[in-house]
């Protein structure tokens, strides 16, 4: 296979000195062709049209030291070798029109000559595979103390392969850094949910690479505040921000207080304003501002916020002098902001500005598989805070998880409610053991808080008695059937998670077979309901 080198004429280093002493000095392009263990079959030498004479002289010198090397001169018009747009365009044009023959030729891109801009463009083009080769860097002999009496004028060289997969140590380090970033962001988020895992991984990539606003939509207690703080800590650790994390729940802001809290005020701007107040936007300068429940902001505050996001400037309440703050915004809401826009309750231009990165955080009821790991997480947290280890009895744990992951468990308060539930049981546990009695009482407490009746379940007459576990499960299935318009709709609700793992899910057939185990049918249930 032939070896082809591609490079630009170095108008300083390749020329070095007068004609008679040029052989005593290291010249990058000539030195590359002089390497005893690096056979160059062809050199594609790119030069500015005005440097044609210098390029021809260099080609003659290369022929003297390496007769087997064919030198092809490629003239280009380059007005400013320090203009990155012009240089990149010209070198890209060369790359796109060059007849690469990768089956018969290997290519080396010489990055030692030319301006720094040229070298950067060579790197970018090679890394993007516009140039299907490796980089070669030449250098003078480090042992040479004098240019006038060099012991090794051809110097040395190094070949750089941009395929990082060839460098196990570097590749492993990059992978470890990436995994650590995701692990850092997910610390304290115990999840087995594949969809939620992918969502967190994307948020991590966006958080590192972007300063644009992030909007997190989800029910109260879904973890918006926690995740916002973790994003802040991740960016702070990477030195992407240096300021504070400032959090405010917009639902608590009303009237003049809202303007003053967010944007600050000057002394005397309203009754009770006895001193200047900087406001939370200025407090978040060079940091992060988390506006939870942003949908609760008034329209005037929304207009001011839009200006602050876009221009990094705003007017404190009662002031005629603009203040500045460079902050990254994370917004949270449980509302449908698009609907609020249509109803005139939320500014369309602000929604468009914060809607670049929108993530919907599922509630606990949509992440059933995460209840068990979060149960363990909450027990560990309780142990750290109280200095007392608490565990479930085996059967008690199964009973609680069976209820917690059933359709009967609404978890309207999401993870906050789960945390409170486990804290109550751990607090009541004698000798650090959560028993059946404690679990039964907690289940009743949760049912009552969700408005459920704790009376015995009423089921259709069955052919044979069934376990209490099956009674609760069957009751939940029947309730879903009563509130669904078709067998297929009920099946989709009941098998929402497992159906995603099947190539051809048949929810209606699965539900029909389940009901038949108890001598029931869809038609009978709907008839009894009416």
pLDDT single digits (tens) 319-370:
888 899 999 999 999 999 999 999 999 999 999 999 999 999 888 888 888 8
Share of the chain above pLDDT 70, in %: 88
Contact by Cβ (8 Å): 392, 400: yes
Non-local (6+) Cβ contacts of 223 within 8 A are: 189, 361, 414, 415
pLDDT single digits (tens) 409-441:
888 888 889 999 999 999 999 888 999 999 999
Q: Give the model's pLDDT for residue 169.
A: 57
pLDDT category of residue 149 using cuts at 50, 70 and 90: very low
pTM for this structure? 0.53
On average, the pLDDT of the chain sits at 85
Structure tokens of 264?
A: 């600050």
User: Whose CA is closest to 510, among 487, 480, 482, 485?
Assistant: 487
What is the C-alpha separation between 447 and 417, in angstroms, rounded?
Answer: 12
CB count, 10 Å around CB of 23? 14
- Does residue 63 carry a pLDDT above 80? yes
| Long-range interactions of 270-273: CB distance < 8 A, separation 24+ | 270/317, 270/318, 273/318
pLDDT single digits (tens) 79-109:
888 888 889 999 999 998 899 888 899 999 9
pLDDT single digits (tens) 218-232:
988 888 998 899 899
What is the C-alpha separation between 236 and 2, in angstroms, rounded?
Answer: 50
Helix (H) or strand (E) holding 158: strand 156-160
Q: Which alpha helices (H) appear in 211-298, and where do they start and end? A: 224-237, 255-263, 280-283
Q: Give the model's pLDDT for residue 112.
A: 93
What is the C-alpha separation between 215 and 359, in angstroms, rounded?
Answer: 6
The predicted model gives 142-149 an average pLDDT of 54
What is the C-alpha separation between 89 and 258, in angstroms, rounded?
Answer: 51
The residues facing 2 across adjacent strands are 105
């Amino acid at each position: 296979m032939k070896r082809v080198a591609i490079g630009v004429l170095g108008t300083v280093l390749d020329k070095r000195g007068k004609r008679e002493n040029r052989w005593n000095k290291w010249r990058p392009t000539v030195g590359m062709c002089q390497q005893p263990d690096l056979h160059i079959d062809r050199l594609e030498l790119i030069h500015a049209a005005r440097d044609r004479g210098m390029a021809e002289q260099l080609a003659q010198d290369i022929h003297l030291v390496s007769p087997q090397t064919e030198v092809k001169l490629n003239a280009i018009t380059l007005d400013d070798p320090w203009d990155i747009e012009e240089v990149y365009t010209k070198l890209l044009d060369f790359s796109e029109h060059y007849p690469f023959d990768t089956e018969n030729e290997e290519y080396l891109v010489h990055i030692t000559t030319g301006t720094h801009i040229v070298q950067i463009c060579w790197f970018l083009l090679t890394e993007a595979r516009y140039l299907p080769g490796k980089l070669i860097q030449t250098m003078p002999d480090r042992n040479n103390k004098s240019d006038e009496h060099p012991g090794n004028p051809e110097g040395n060289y190094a070949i750089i392969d941009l395929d990082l997969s060839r460098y196990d140590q570097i590749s492993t380090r990059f992978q470890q850094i990436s995994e650590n970033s995701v692990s850092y962001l997910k610390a304290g988020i115990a999840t087995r949910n594949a969809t939620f895992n992918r969502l967190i991984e994307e948020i991590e990539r966006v958080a590192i690479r972007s300063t644009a606003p992030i909007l997190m939509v989800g029910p109260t207690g879904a973890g918006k505040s926690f995740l916002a703080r973790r994003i802040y800590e991740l960016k702070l650790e990477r030195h992407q921000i240096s300021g504070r994390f400032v959090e405010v729940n917009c639902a608590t802001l009303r009237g003049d207080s809202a303007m003053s809290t967010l944007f600050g005020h000057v002394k005397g701007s309203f009754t009770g304003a006895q001193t200047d107040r900087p406001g939370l936007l200025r407090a978040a300068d060079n940091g992060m501002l988390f506006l939870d429940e942003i949908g609760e902001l008034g329209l005037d505050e929304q207009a001011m916020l839009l200006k602050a996001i876009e221009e990094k400037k705003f007017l404190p309440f009662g002031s005629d002098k603009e203040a500045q703050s460079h902050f990254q915004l994370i917004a949270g809401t449980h509302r449908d902001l698009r609907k609020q826009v249509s109803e005139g309750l939320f500014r369309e231009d602000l929604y468009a500005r914060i809607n670049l990165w929108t993530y919907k955080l599922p509630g606990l009821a949509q992440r059933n598989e995460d209840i068990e790991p979060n149960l363990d997480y909450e027990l560990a947290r309780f142990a750290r805070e109280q200095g007392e280890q608490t565990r479930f009895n085996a059967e008690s744990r199964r009973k609680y998880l069976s209820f917690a992951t059933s359709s009967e468990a609404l978890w309207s308060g999401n993870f906050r409610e789960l945390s409170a539930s486990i804290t109550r049981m751990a607090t009541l546990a004698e000798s650090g053991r959560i028993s059946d009695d404690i679990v039964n009482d907690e289940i009743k407490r949760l049912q009552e808080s969700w408005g459920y009746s704790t009376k015995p379940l009423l089921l259709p007459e069955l052919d044979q008695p069934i376990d209490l576990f099956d009674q609760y499960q069957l009751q939940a299935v029947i309730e879903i059937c009563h509130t669904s318009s078709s067998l297929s709709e009920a099946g989709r609700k009941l098998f929402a998670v497992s159906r995603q793992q099947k190539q051809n899910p048949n929810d209606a057939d699965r539900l029909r077979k389940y009901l038949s185990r108890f001598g029931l049918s869809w038609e009978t249930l709907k008839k009894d309901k009416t």
